[in-house]
Homo-oligomer: A and B are copies of this chain.
Amino acid sequence: MSVSRSGSRVGVWLIGARGSVATTVVAGCAAICAGLHPPTGMVTETPPFASSELPPLPSLVFGGHDTVDCPLPKRAEELAAGGVLPPGLPTAVASELAAADREIRPGGPLPGDTRDQEALISAFAADIQDFVRRLGPTRAVVVNVASTEPPPTDQALPPSTLYAAAALRAGCPYLNFTPSTGLHHPALATAAAESGLPYAGRDGKTGQTLLRAALAPMFTQRALAVRAWSGTNLLGGGDGASLADPAAAAAKNAGKERVLADTLGTPPEGEVHIDDVPALGDWKTAWDHVAFDGFLGTRMILQTIWQGCDSALAAPLVLDLARLTARAHERGLSGPLGELGFYFKDPVGDGPAALAEQYAELVRFAERLRAPGAGGQGRADGGAGEER
């Protein structure tokens, strides 16, 4: 663990700040800082990132928006009862949870809210600016970890886009860990381009798609012909319910299928299902069935079963992304950070889709984030993001 540089704090503003992922982010960061757990799952704590001058974990301060009221310490207790957080952890990091809880502001719009879009954006931006002013971080990053919203069906900006607009107005880099629209809305295109801020997304790659990005290149490299790639996801937490809505699932599945089309060269047969199974709680299971042809057309099959805890998979990546993007902002990078494709199902930019290549690009990005004169170069070849 790096040591905090005196006086330098970095804000992490979480949209969906009372959800499972956000609660795990806050509790986990505190647990690692306290030495209660090693930073398993955090890529930015591995050697290739040691010289990138990322903000140290103890320098992170948390706040955010949410539309529900349940206090973070209570949410953490619920997660511990469900086996998502280790028993005893909520008590051990109670003060950090309470501190973050105090920085959560009401999101929206809730039913009955009569404010127009401009008023909502202004209010959200003011919340973020107030957080920065009071807590004094040198910069803050806004991360969307709210439940997946259905794709917009009318002219109104969806909530995720209102929050993204607020981030731009508050001068904060923006990360979209969900398949929701966020900054991808055409109405924000000009503002994003002119903001001089770095941003990245969409949809964290935490399970089935992570596996697909690791496995699909194997078939291509071995010249094996994938005929059909079918999959079913069972998940029970809030995301299970959101994604039971076919429209919301469609947004997520588009990202999943893009990975296959990009790594295999052509999209194979096969569907993806996302089932809401409340009995699974925050755990998810993904079954994949890959039918491929080998030599002389011999039919073969690969199946994978991934059983993971959604929040535990997502939280360390959120911490990674917040640190990387904060540092990118500090180094003056702006625009879409395509080098973060390692983390996303549907990344910004035109980066590679194969996991190994995405990882190599991320490691090059880590070098680029080093201080000038520290042995790193200022500009990676073909790198996404532009320096001001």
Contacts and interface: CB of A to CB of B under 8 A. Distances in A.
Interface in A334-373: 342, 354-357, 359
A228 B280 contact: yes
Contacts of A81: 87
A300 B283 CA distance: 9
A37 to B, nearest CB: 5
A158 B355 CA distance: 42
B46 A223 contact: yes
A130 interface: no
Interface in A255-289: 268-271, 273, 275, 277-280, 285, 287, 289
A383 to B, nearest CB: 19
B232 A287 contact: yes
A221 interface: yes
Contacts of A275: 230, 270-271
A387 interface: no
A121 interface: no
Contact of A296 (B31, B211, B277, B279): B31
Nearest to A85: B296
**Chain A binding surface, main DSSP class:** mixed
A320 to B, nearest CB: 9
B83 A277 contact: no
Contacts of A141: none
A316 interface: yes
Contacts of A189: none
23 contacts: A38-B225, A41-B294, A41-B295, A42-B223, A89-B296, A214-B217, A215-B215, A230-B275, A232-B232, A234-B289, A269-B277, A269-B278, A270-B275, A273-B273, A285-B289, A287-B303, A294-B309, A295-B312, A300-B306, A300-B312, A301-B306, A304-B304, A356-B357
Given A214-B215, A228-B280, 16 more contacts: A41-B224, A43-B223, A46-B223, A80-B87, A211-B302, A230-B275, A268-B279, A271-B273, A285-B289, A295-B313, A298-B309, A300-B306, A300-B307, A300-B312, A302-B306, A303-B304
Interface of A: 24, 27-28, 31, 37-43, 45-46, 80-81, 83-87, 89, 210-211, 214-215, 217-218, 221-225, 227-228, 230, 232, 234, 268-271, 273, 275, 277-280, 285, 287, 289, 291, 293-298, 300-309, 312-313, 315-316, 342, 354-357, 359
